[in-house]
Amino acid sequence: MRILVNEIQTNREKLGRPIAPAATTEELRMVQEEATQKLRYTLPPAYLDLLRLSNGLDWNGVQLYASQPRTRVTPEGRMKYLFRGIVEANEQWRDFPPNEEFIFFAESGDVLYCYNLTSGKFEIVDRITKEMDDDQTDAFDTCEELLETLLNHMLDRYEGEV
């Protein structure tokens, strides 16, 4: 994962947009505690390891949730999200009951990168229907596989191109 994050970092720096700094040990402890309490879910080590490289990552229309929401105020006085926090995002997703069977790690305009609490698989699902393609190529046994695919999607690498 480090190699892929470094590649994203290089691309962002060429545009003068560095990646977010790494999450601190305290931030990781706090998000794990909050996820356990509010979501009744223990965040996987691979997700926490990715936050140790960049506490939230946004590139090419895909955003990995950070440990906590990060916002800024626009010149017009509006609050704008730089990154959504994983617990906050999941609480918002869970306002719609069918989403209660998922833990979401990241999103794009079309898909969500998640853990399906029912199937026990890490999945890439349609943002609206929460269904995978019929070929089931978007289901993974490990969080590492999901996150590597997510990072490759940030780099415009899709099935057969990775």
Q: What would the pLDDT profile of 8-53 be if each residue is shown by its tens digit?
A: 999 999 999 999 999 999 999 999 999 999 999 999 999 999 999 9
Burial class from Cβ neighbours inside 10 Å (0-12, 13-18, 19+) for residue 17 reads: exposed
pTM: 0.90
| Confidence band of 137 (pLDDT split at 50, 70, 90) | low
Reference 105, options 123, 120, 119; nearest CA is 123
Instruction: Compute φ and ψ for 132, nearest 5 degrees.
Output: -90, 170
Q: How high is the pLDDT of residue 26?
A: 98
Domains and CATH numbers, the chain: 2-154 (3.40.1580.10)
- 79-126 pLDDT, tens digit per residue, is 777 889 999 999 999 999 989 999 999 999 999 999 999 999 999 999
